[in-house]
């Protein structure tokens, strides 16, 4: 058994607890902001020539308040998507069990050079 969870395992963990027919109504503008954010990350990371070294990734991500990719990602998660999620889902995040995979990601290990 692995000591770490993969990104896919972490993303999918707990989703089976949500009925497949449960829906929410969201602002199309906010949904498009989140979509465009994810598309920007895919556009950058799909081509290894975009990130030949760590410095290139750091430039893409930027720093807090720079308006670069990490700022946009943070806005997507903490502002735009916040109102999309119902209260019981917010509570589940606070409990830290329903959607938190029991195995840590590999990047928690400072001596591990791989990402699972």
Domain holding 99, by residue range, is 7-15+25-108
Q: pLDDT class for 116, splitting at 50, 70, 90?
A: very low
Q: Take residue 4 and report the two structure tokens written for it.
A: 């770490």
Q: Is residue 2 part of a domain?
A: no
Q: How confident is the model over 79-101, as pLDDT tens digits?
A: 999 999 999 998 888 877 899 99
Answer yes or no: is 20 within a domain: no
Report the number of distinct structural domains present in the chain: 1
Say if residue 112's pLDDT is above 70.
Answer: no
CA proximity to 40, closest of 49, 29, 30, 32: 32
Does residue 93 belong to any structural domain of this protein?
Answer: yes
pLDDT digits (tens, 9 = 90+) for 33-74: 999 999 999 999 999 999 999 999 999 999 999 999 999 999
Query: What's the rounded mean pLDDT across residues 8-14?
Result: 95
Contact of 2 with 112, CB cutoff 8 Å: no
Enumerate long-range contacts of 71-75, CB under 8 Å, 24 or more apart: 72/37, 72/40, 73/37, 73/41, 75/33, 75/37
Q: What is the pTM of this model?
A: 0.84
The Cα–Cα gap between 89 and 82 comes to 10
The answer to whether residue 78 is domain-embedded is yes
Which pLDDT band holds residue 109 (cuts at 50, 70, 90)? confident
DSSP collapsed to 3 states, 53-88: CHHHHHHHHCCCCCCCHHHHHHHHHHHHCHHHCCHH
């Amino acid at each position: 058994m692995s000591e770490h969870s993969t990104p896919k395992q972490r993303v999918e963990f707990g989703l089976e607890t949500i009925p497949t027919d449960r829906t929410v109504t969201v602002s199309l503008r906010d949904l498009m902001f989140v979509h465009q954010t994810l598309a920007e990350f895919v556009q950058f990371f799909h081509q290894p020539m975009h990130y030949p070294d760590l410095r290139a990734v750091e430039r893409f991500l930027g720093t807090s308040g720079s308006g670069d990719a990490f700022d946009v990602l943070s806005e997507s998660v903490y502002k735009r998507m916040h109102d999309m999620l119902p209260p019981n889902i917010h509570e589940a995040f606070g409990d830290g069990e329903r959607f938190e995979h029991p195995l840590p990601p590999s990047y928690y290990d400072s001596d591990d050079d791989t990402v699972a």
